[in-house]
Each structure stands twice: as structure tokens, then as C-alpha cells.
């Protein structure tokens, strides 16, 4: 029996073995002078191939650190991080460079940072393909396909200075898609844009997701962005705290509607972050009381440790006192 159980345990699939992106107990510690800052504190996250999701969180929550690690710009301190089958902790410098060129694309918040100002939109899109050694005819075909998907084919010969901010971001998305990456990371892609222009950029990201099958990961502090994606993951204090999942349903009359459900995230160590408003409303702090019910777990405010009280005398002591 022991050997059989050991054999089953050995055959169990690794955590996240079917996911495109795996973060397993991810830790990132920065040394600032004599102080250690723990930006990620055992973060767990799985992202499936073809998803479009947002990672949201306040400043200092760890979301930018996570983005830098997953895009190959930073290295985690501990844990496991895998993107498109590549172990980010085991890469050499050359492998990391190849990973950033081939497996992932990146769009920065600052529009000027994404494009070379002296090249046209078409030349910017073709440049990564030139570095990858793609032939001229295929390069031109791919450039036209990408700019067309972004709704910018007629602006191919304009330089960035002749494009609006939203148009520049859409060209940047085409550049990020040039070498057919498995994942496109976008860091606050609409942070410098008005809401209408931001909607155009999100439409371009959705086109990249649906037309090319690229997994899209958007990092933002703006919770309103979550309405634009299928799943929103909130990060707080270096860990995933909650998720919002959206599903489209069709009623008996044929009308469609989007239902959003929010879930707390229970990590692999059993840790759960309760929303602040829940803790405040019930006075939850320090010790809390748990009760396992048939289909749920109850959480109640704990009680202070009772003061020591005199014990009741037992029967023999009472008899002695009577004598």
C-alpha cells in the first residue's frame, strides 16, 4: 500500500503544468541600503493560454515587480516562475534576451518609449522582424497584417510625431506582436489617454487576443480596466488577494448579459486575505474563530484571552471544609 501511494504521488502533475504562466510561491526581495523590501511574498498565480486578464493593485502592491519578472526584465529571489514552458529562474543572460525577443511582447505606458521617432509606423513594426531574420516579403506581409488588425493600415507611412497618443499605442501593440509572441504584457497602456481613446486601445488588445490567439496580461492601478477583460486578479501586499471572473450568459429571450463574480483567493499554503471592509464591519483582528460547516467555513471575531479565575473546589475539598 505504501509503495502504491508513493507511486501515485510521484505521478501527480506539477502545479500549473497545463498553464501558460505559472507563479508558484514567488518571492522578490530588494535590498535598499540596509533595509530589505519584500515586494512579492509567496505569490501564486496561474494564467491559461489565450486568456486576456488584468492585474490590478495599489502602488506598492507588487504588480509592477510581477510584470518585470514575467517579462524577463527582473529575476525572482525564490519560488518558481514559468512562462511558455521557460523557467525564468534558470535562464542565462543570452536565454533571457532570446526569451524577450521571441516569447513575449511588451507595451509601456509612456507612448514615446515604445517607438523610434525617426521611423515610420511600418518601419517600427518591421524592425523586430529584421532582427529575427525574417525575409523582406514576409516582413512586409506581416507588417501590413498587423497594422490592418490595429486599424492603422492607412497610417503606415507616418512617423510617431504625426500620430495621436492612442494611435501610437496601437502601433506599439503591433510592434509587440511582430515576432508572434505567446504573451503580450502591457503596463498601464491607457494611463496617458482619455477614456474614449483608451477604449480604442483596449479594442486593439482584444483584437490581438482573438485574432492572433495571443495571451494578454495588463497591469494597472485602475480598477475600471477590469470591465474590459475576462478575469481580473487583484494583488495586495505581494500576494494575490481576489479575482473577478466575467461570463456572458444568454436568457430565454436570447438577450445576452455579462455576469461578474468576485472570489477571494486561497493560496497553496491556505492563506486568505479578507477585504478590509469585512474586517472593519465585524471587528476582525488578531485571533479569529473558525467553524467548519458542511458546505462552508464560518469566521467570527475572536475573544480576548480570559483572565485566570479561581477554580471551583472539588467534592473532597468541600467535604473537608465542612468538617
Residues 200, 281 share a domain: no
> Is 164 or 256 the better-scoring residue by pLDDT?
164
- CA pseudo-torsion sign 300, 301, 307, 309: negative
**Do 298 and 151 share a structural domain?**
no
Q: Which of 3-12, 94-103, 261-270 has the lowest mean pLDDT?
A: 3-12
Residue 45 has pLDDT above 90, yes or no: yes
pLDDT digits (tens, 9 = 90+) for 116-137: 999 999 999 999 999 888 898 9
Q: Give the cell for residue 289.
A: 474563530
Contacts of residue 56, Cβ cutoff 8 Å, sequence gap at least 6 = 63, 219, 220, 221, 222, 223, 225, 226, 232, 233, 234, 235
Q: What is the pLDDT of residue 323?
A: 44
The residue behind cell 480596466 is 225
Residue 89 maps to a domain: yes
Give me the percent of the chain exceeding a pLDDT of 70: 90
Establish if 315 belongs to a structural domain: no
Is 50 exceeded by the pLDDT of residue 201? yes
Same domain, 48 and 171: yes
| pLDDT above 90 for 103 | yes
State the cell numbers at 242.
481576489
**What is the span of the domain harbouring residue 281?**
274-306
Q: Which of the four pLDDT bands, split at 50, 70 and 90, describes residue 319?
A: very low
pLDDT at res. 190: 87
Q: How many domains does the chain have?
A: 2
**Whether residue 285 sits in one domain with residue 156:** no
Q: How far is CA 309 from the centre of its chain?
A: 52
pLDDT score of 3: 52
Q: How far apart are CA 143 and CA 190, in angstroms?
A: 23
Let me know whether 291 and 214 are in one domain: no
Domain-located, residue 45: yes
Q: Which of 25, 16, 15, 33 is nearest to 76 (CA)?
A: 25
- Specify the CATH number for the domain of residue 64: 3.40.50.300
Last residue of a domain, one of 245, 264, 283: 264
- Assigned domain for 140 exists: yes
Q: Do residues 18 and 148 both lie within one domain?
A: yes
- Residue 54 pLDDT grade (very low, low, confident, very high; cuts 50, 70, 90): very high
pLDDT of residue 204: 95
Q: What rounded mean pLDDT belongs to the chain?
A: 87
Say if 269 falls within a structural domain: no
φ, ψ of residue 171 to 5 degrees: the values are -65, -40
Q: Are residues 123 and 64 in the same domain?
A: yes
**CA 142, CA 135: separation in Å to the nearest integer?**
11
Task: Let me know whether 278 and 260 are in one domain.
Answer: no
**pLDDT value, residue 322:** 44
- C-alpha dihedral sign at 85, 88, 92, 94: positive
Task: Label residue 252 by pLDDT band (50, 70, 90).
Answer: confident
Q: Which residues pair with 29 in a beta bridge?
A: 38
Do the beta carbons of residue 267 and residue 233 sit within 8 Å? no
Q: Is 138 exposed, middle or buried (0-12, 13-18, 19+ CB in 10 A)?
A: exposed
What is the per-residue pLDDT for 34? 86
Position 233 scores a pLDDT of 95
Q: What pLDDT does residue 121 have?
A: 97
Percent pLDDT > 90 in the chain is 53
Cα separation of 192 and 260, whole Å? 27
Q: Which of 176-190, 203-217, 257-271 has the lowest mean pLDDT?
A: 257-271
Q: Is 83 found in the same domain as 63? A: yes
The reported pLDDT for the residue numbered 176 is 96
Shared domain for 180 and 285, answered yes or no, is no
Report yes or no on 160 lying in a domain: yes
Q: How far apart are CA 319 and CA 314, in angstroms?
A: 9
- Residue at 92 is within a domain: yes
Note whether residue 8 is domain-resident: no
- 96 and 229 part of one domain: yes
Shared-domain flag, residues 123 and 182: yes
State yes or no: pLDDT of 313 exceeds 70: no
Amino acid at each position: 500500500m505504501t509503495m502504491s501511494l508513493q507511486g501515485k504521488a510521484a505521478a501527480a502533475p506539477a502545479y500549473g503544468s497545463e498553464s501558460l504562466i505559472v507563479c508558484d510561491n514567488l518571492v522578490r526581495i530588494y535590498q535598499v541600503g540596509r533595509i530589505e523590501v519584500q515586494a512579492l511574498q509567496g505569490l501564486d498565480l496561474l494564467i491559461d493560454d489565450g486568456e486576456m486578464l488584468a492585474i490590478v493593485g495599489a502602488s506598492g502592491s507588487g504588480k509592477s515587480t510581477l510584470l518585470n519578472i514575467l517579462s524577463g526584465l527582473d529575476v525572482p529571489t525564490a519560488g518558481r516562475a514559468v512562462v511558455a514552458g521557460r523557467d525564468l529562474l534558470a535562464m542565462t543572460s543570452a536565454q533571457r534576451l532570446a526569451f524577450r525577443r521571441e516569447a513575449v511582447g511588451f507595451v509601456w505606458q509612456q507612448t514615446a518609449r515604445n517607438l523610434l521617432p525617426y521611423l515610420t509606423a511600418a518601419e517600427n513594426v518591421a524592425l523586430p522582424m529584421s532582427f529575427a531574420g525574417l525575409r523582406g516579403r514576409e516582413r512586409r506581409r506581416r507588417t501590413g497584417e498587423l497594422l490592418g488588425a490595429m486599424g492603422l493600415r492607412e497610417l503606415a507611412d507616418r512617423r510617431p510625431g504625426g500620430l495621436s497618443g492612442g494611435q501610437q499605442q496601437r502601433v506599439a501593440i503591433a510592434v509587440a506582436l511582430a515576432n508572434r509572441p505567446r504573451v503580450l504584457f502591457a503596463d498601464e497602456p491607457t494611463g496617458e489617454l482619455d477614456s474614449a481613446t483608451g477604449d480604442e486601445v483596449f479594442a486593439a488588445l482584444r483584437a490581438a487576443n482573438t485574432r492572433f490567439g495571443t495571451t494578454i496580461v495588463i497591469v494597472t492601478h485602475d480598477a475600471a480596466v477590469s470591465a474590459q477583460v475576462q478575469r481580473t486578479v487583484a494583488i495586495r501586499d505581494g500576494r494575490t488577494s481576489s479575482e473577478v471572473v466575467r461570463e456572458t450568459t444568454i436568457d430565454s429571450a436570447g438577450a445576452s448579459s455579462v455576469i461578474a463574480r468576485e472570489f477571494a483567493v486561497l493560496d497553496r499554503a491556505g492563506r486568505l486575505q479578507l477585504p478590509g471592509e469585512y474586517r472593519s464591519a465585524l471587528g476582525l483582528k488578531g485571533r479569529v474563530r473558525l467553524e467548519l460547516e458542511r458546505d462552508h467555513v464560518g469566521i467570527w471575531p475572536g475573544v480576548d484571552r480570559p483572565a485566570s479565575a479561581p477554580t471551583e473546589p472539588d467534592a473532597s475539598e468541600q467535604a473537608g471544609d465542612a468538617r
